Structure 1
Amino acid sequence: MQSLINTIFYRKRRYLVYFIITVIAISLPFIRINGNHIFLLSFDHMELHLLGTAFNVQQLYLMPFLLIILFVGIFFMTTLGGRVWCGWSCPQTIFRVIYRDFIETTLLGLRKKISNKQEKPKYTIISNDVKKIIGILIFSVIALMASAVFLFYFVPPEEFFPALLDPLNHMVLMTFWLCIAGFLVFDITFIAENFCVYICPYARVQSVLYDDDTIMAIYDSSRGGAIYTPEGEKILQAPKKRDPNAECTNCEKCVRVCPTHIDIRKGMQLECINCLECVDACTEVMGKLGRPSLVQWSSPNSIDTKTKIKYFRAKTIAYIVVLAIVFGIMVAMWGKKEQMLLNITRSSELYEIRSSGVVDNEYVFLFQNTDNKDHNYSFKILDNNDLIIKQPTSDIRIKAGGKSKQIVIIRAKAALGDNTSKDAITPITIQAYATDDPKINVERKSFFVYPEKNVLKKYQK
């Protein structure tokens, strides 16, 4: 009875995870913090939104850290739990459950029951062919919604929905939307689990990440008895060939329920996606016999030595340390995010001497407001009281996300250029700030050039 309870728990827990992931994926694009999205990679606006903070394309120094966390996280997850992502979180698996188990089996009755995934639907009867078409059409609607949600992470909903009302002027977006939905329909209804077995690159790299403490669905041959020879040939199941103490009844329910069409009793296989369907099936059968499941979610070492699973070991601890270091660096870099961008370049002319004898230096300031509000900007010279800003004379108004190029003239009196060097280069620090928000300010280094001494004297006479 206890084993049967575990079966129900596993099944409900897996579907609950699917539901939670679906809700999160759909809701995240609609949640905004301070006007910014939780996650948005907008190629149109050249912005990355992360946890309510917007980063301009010139501020994407966080992207390498995000990619490192992604890949190291995948390695860590695989080393710890095998292809647990595939069975419990992968959209491919979730959509296959929706299409195969709900639409084809429960809704349309094209399959006899969920517990037999090896038997393919039969389409010899015309009504079944019609049901197949209906099933594809139903899933096509789901695919359109799913592809739209996927695009929400690149084109926010507040821009996507208006584009739907004017598709002719948004042909690129509409093409991407329909192509993604079309591929999803073809993948889920025709390619099916072959994607997991032959196409998905994750299956190709997982074997090098496994060790004897990796958690996976494992058949306990010490209790159930050997079903295959070391060479992979199936042992004849005649009574005289069987181990009299073997507990496996050879019901093959663990085989029929497997979505990737493998026999878990053969040992660890790349096709196994850790969905635990076989664990549920065996638990139900062995539970009726008052015995624990022969297929368990455990590690090879734990099964062989009858000890607890080792979650923390050298490899997993190393991954945790790396993830913690990278995450810490990313958080530190996050704090350096500027609410405005300022790029200062000098004009091609070193300086200009006016008829009155004053010296001007000309600069080009490129402002960019990376905040989600409009701001008025001004600037000042911090470390030189002998220089004044001649132009512009008023604040610069820039809209949220906007840019502005300004010609800036910094002036010094000619008498101040009395020095012995040929071209006196004086370092200066320029602070730009938002006059309506003192928290927004940046500092940039530049320099001011004086003419040589004998040139100044000509204008002073």
Structure 2
Amino acid sequence: MRAETVPGGGSPANDSLYEDHKKVYPAAVQGTFRKIKWGLLIACLGIYYLLPFVRWDRGPGHPDQAVLIDFPNRRFYFFFIEIWPQEVYYITGLLILAALALFLMNALAGRVWCGYLCPQTVWTDLFLAVERWTEGDRRDRMKLDQAPWTADKVGRKAAKHALWLMIAWWTGGAWVLYFADAPTLVRDLLFFDAPLVAYIWIAILTGTTYVLAGFAREQVCIYMCPWPRIQAALTDEWALNVSYRVDRGEPRTSMKTAEKLRAAGEDAGDCIDCRQCVVVCPTGTDIREGIQLSCIQCGLCIDACDNVMDKVGRPRGLIAYDTDINIERREQGKPEIYRFVRPRTVLYVAVIAIVAAVMVFALTTRATVGVNVLHDRNPVFVVNSDGSVRNGYTVRILNKDREARDFVLAVEGLPAGAHLDVNGPEKMVDGKPVLSVEPDQTRELRVTVLTPKGTPLPTSTPVVFSVRETVTGETAAAKDFFKAP
């Protein structure tokens, strides 16, 4: 707030830099897009709340939860897919795919993600349904807020907030179930035997869900979320957006006046200025003023307008998903055209396909064994008193499998007459050491290579350390050098 002096010595006037916030009371509406939103809401919440309880058999001794982020064992399980900590690039790939999919959705139908699938929209819709059930529709809620506090008002408000908190609590509780065996954790939570961190995260997520879905609502979409501002830079005139068809709706007037104008042969728009498109909007946006940052493209104003058009005997579609191009073409008397396949969408689809193909290839061809070699640095080599040369290495064998396995260690490229010495092999096969590695473990061992006195040696000889699994034959290799004076 800033104060300014009125010229002529008048009293100061307050000019607000921001419009005062007005509570939005969205009215209930029935129609095609409302049904779509209900279907997606049930599907999304059903997946989120129930997925931790879905089982997937991975064999004895292994978790049978279909989707599990197993921090103690450093694993992420998604049905038949198992991701290891060193494979964080898969997470990067998934984030890239999600971003590209969002860009593609925007290029085809604007903020369709915001209107139907965004968690803020889904939970806000659920909270609004609870609010209507406990307090009534738009007019009833407005009257209730303005009415004095009575037992009925207290009861309705208490019931609403109790249900909100219950939903928010279960939202936080469902989240932590993805990090431990769900049935076990539920039992531990009920008997207060769960880890403290579980209760902390449930409390945090309960609070954020309760505040964001119950109170912040449209303010999250308008002020907190960056996507509306990014989306404006990504859309074009070919993208479908919820649009008020000005060419058909204007000049707007009352229904009776419109009938008189049409009877007199004068122009009259189909819009009767009933404002139903505004009162059903969850962000309070008047779509007749054009596409705005606050519009989440949910389509509820389309349902409201179609219902009004049915009542007044005018064609549906005064508000509809449309493109800027078609609005201009209709004003010019040209037929509508739609162009979903264009360079922008082709590029997004191509990049999505490439990234997905790379991830699938990497996932299906990845190895379950690895080997790393670290050459001694100080000293790089040792000349013994008898004239022989010795190099030392630290070899790490990684077993990514869920079963203990045996590996045969071999070194190729050693100078003639060189002798390989390994500490702690369980057995030897054809003169090569066999080493056992526990499941999901790395075994580190010291390897020494010794060349006899008088062996002609270059200053650096390439060598390859390889391991081979004794049952499946799976191999892995790492390159290094044998150093000499």
TM-score range, shorter chain: 0.7 to 0.9
2:353 to 298, 321, 324: 324
How far the C-alpha of 1:260 sits from its partner, in A, is 0.6
CA RMSD between the two structures: 3.5
Structure 2 equivalent of residue 266 of structure 1: 289
State, as a whole percentage, how many aligned pairs show the same letter: 23
What whole-Å deviation, never above 9, does each CA across 1:136-166 have from its counterpart, x for those lacking one?
Answer: 2222222222223334455564785476378
Structure 2 equivalent of residue 78 of structure 1: 106
Q: With CA pairs under 8 Å and 6+ residues apart, which has the higher RCO, 1 or 2? A: 1
1:401 to 440, 446, 466: 440
Structure 2 equivalent of residue 374 of structure 1: 404
- TM-score if structure 2 supplies the norm length? 0.77
Q: Which amino acid aligns with 1:20?
A: A
Seen in structure 2, the aligned counterparts of structure 1 residues 13 and 238 have a Cα distance that, compared at 3 Å, is closer
Q: Which amino acid aligns with 2:123?
A: F
- Asked if structure 2 preserves the Cα contact closer than 8 Å seen for 1:378 and 1:434, the reply is yes
2:217 to 192, 199, 210: 192
Seen in structure 2, the aligned counterparts of structure 1 residues 134 and 368 have a Cα distance that, compared at 3 Å, is farther
Seen in structure 2, the aligned counterparts of structure 1 residues 326 and 398 have a Cα distance that, compared at 3 Å, is same
How far the C-alpha of 1:33 sits from its partner, in A, is 7.2
Structure 2 residue matching 1:21: 3-state secondary structure: helix
What whole-Å deviation, never above 9, does each CA across 1:323-374 have from its counterpart, x for those lacking one?
Answer: 2233333334334533133322123343456788765533222333322333
1:212 to 237, 254, 258: 237
Q: Which amino acid aligns with 1:425?
A: S
Structure 2 unaligned residues grouped into runs of 5+: 1-28, 330-334, 427-433
Seen in structure 2, the aligned counterparts of structure 1 residues 377 and 71 have a Cα distance that, compared at 3 Å, is same
Q: Which amino acid aligns with 2:93?
A: F
2:318 to 278, 294, 316: 294
How far the C-alpha of 1:84 sits from its partner, in A, is 0.6
1:361 to 388, 391, 394: 391
Structure 2 equivalent of residue 418 of structure 1: 455
Q: Give the whole-Å Cα distance in 1 for the aligned partners of 2:184 and 2:204.
A: 19
Matched, 1:62 2:90: yes
Structure 1 equivalent of residue 200 of structure 2: 175
Q: Which amino acid aligns with 1:194?
A: Q
How far the C-alpha of 1:27 sits from its partner, in A, is 4.5
How far the C-alpha of 1:249 sits from its partner, in A, is 2.1
Structure 1 residue matching 2:189: 3-state secondary structure: helix
How far the C-alpha of 1:128 sits from its partner, in A, is 2.0
Structure 1 equivalent of residue 336 of structure 2: 307
- Asked if structure 2 preserves the Cα contact closer than 8 Å seen for 1:219 and 1:264, the reply is yes
- Asked if structure 2 preserves the Cα contact closer than 8 Å seen for 1:193 and 1:260, the reply is yes
Structure 1 equivalent of residue 12 of structure 2: none
Alignment of 1:143-292 (within 5 A): 143-153=168-178, 157=182, 160-161=185-186, 164=189, 170-226=195-251, 239=257, 244-288=267-311, 289=313, 291-292=315-316
- Asked if structure 2 preserves the Cα contact closer than 8 Å seen for 1:118 and 1:261, the reply is no
Seen in structure 2, the aligned counterparts of structure 1 residues 118 and 165 have a Cα distance that, compared at 3 Å, is closer
- Asked if structure 2 preserves the Cα contact closer than 8 Å seen for 1:80 and 1:311, the reply is yes
Structure 2 residue matching 1:247: 3-state secondary structure: coil
- Asked if structure 1 preserves the Cα contact closer than 8 Å seen for 2:409 and 2:435, the reply is no
Alignment of 1:24-173 (within 5 A): 24-29=47-52, 30=54, 32=56, 34=58, 45-49=73-77, 52-101=80-129, 103-106=130-133, 108=134, 110-112=135-137, 119=142, 121-122=144-145, 124=148, 125-153=150-178, 157=182, 160-161=185-186, 164=189, 170-173=195-198
Seen in structure 2, the aligned counterparts of structure 1 residues 132 and 24 have a Cα distance that, compared at 3 Å, is same
How far the C-alpha of 1:322 sits from its partner, in A, is 2.3
Q: Which amino acid aligns with 1:410?
A: T
1:18 to 31, 36, 41: 41
Pick which of 28-37 and 361-370 moved more: 28-37
Structure 1 residue matching 2:473: 3-state secondary structure: strand
How far the C-alpha of 1:75 sits from its partner, in A, is 1.8
Pick which of 145-154 and 290-299 moved more: 145-154
Q: Give the whole-Å Cα distance in 2 for the aligned partners of 1:356 and 1:435.
A: 38
What whole-Å deviation, never above 9, does each CA across 1:81-103 have from its counterpart, x for those lacking one?
Answer: 111111111121111121112x1
Q: Give the whole-Å Cα distance in 2 for the aligned partners of 1:53 and 1:383.
A: 38
Structure 2 equivalent of residue 457 of structure 1: none
Q: Give the whole-Å Cα distance in 1 for the aligned partners of 2:106 and 2:57.
A: 33
- Asked if structure 2 preserves the Cα contact closer than 8 Å seen for 1:81 and 1:215, the reply is yes
Q: Give the whole-Å Cα distance in 1 for the aligned partners of 2:463 and 2:187.
A: 48
Structure 1 unaligned residues grouped into runs of 5+: 1-5, 228-234, 453-461
How far the C-alpha of 1:121 sits from its partner, in A, is 5.0
What whole-Å deviation, never above 9, does each CA across 1:368-412 have from its counterpart, x for those lacking one?
Answer: 3322333333422244485434333214444333333222x2344
Structure 2 residue matching 1:261: 3-state secondary structure: coil
Q: Which amino acid aligns with 1:12?
A: K
Alignment of 1:339-354 (within 5 A): 339-347=368-376, 348-351=378-381
How far the C-alpha of 1:179 sits from its partner, in A, is 0.5
1:392 to 424, 444, 449: 424
Structure 2 residue matching 1:212: 3-state secondary structure: coil
How far the C-alpha of 1:244 sits from its partner, in A, is 4.2
Q: Which amino acid aligns with 2:483?
A: V
Seen in structure 2, the aligned counterparts of structure 1 residues 71 and 38 have a Cα distance that, compared at 3 Å, is farther
Q: Which amino acid aligns with 1:182?
A: G
Pick which of 267-276 and 133-142 moved more: 133-142
Seen in structure 2, the aligned counterparts of structure 1 residues 388 and 85 have a Cα distance that, compared at 3 Å, is same
Structure 2 residue matching 1:438: 3-state secondary structure: coil
Seen in structure 2, the aligned counterparts of structure 1 residues 130 and 165 have a Cα distance that, compared at 3 Å, is closer
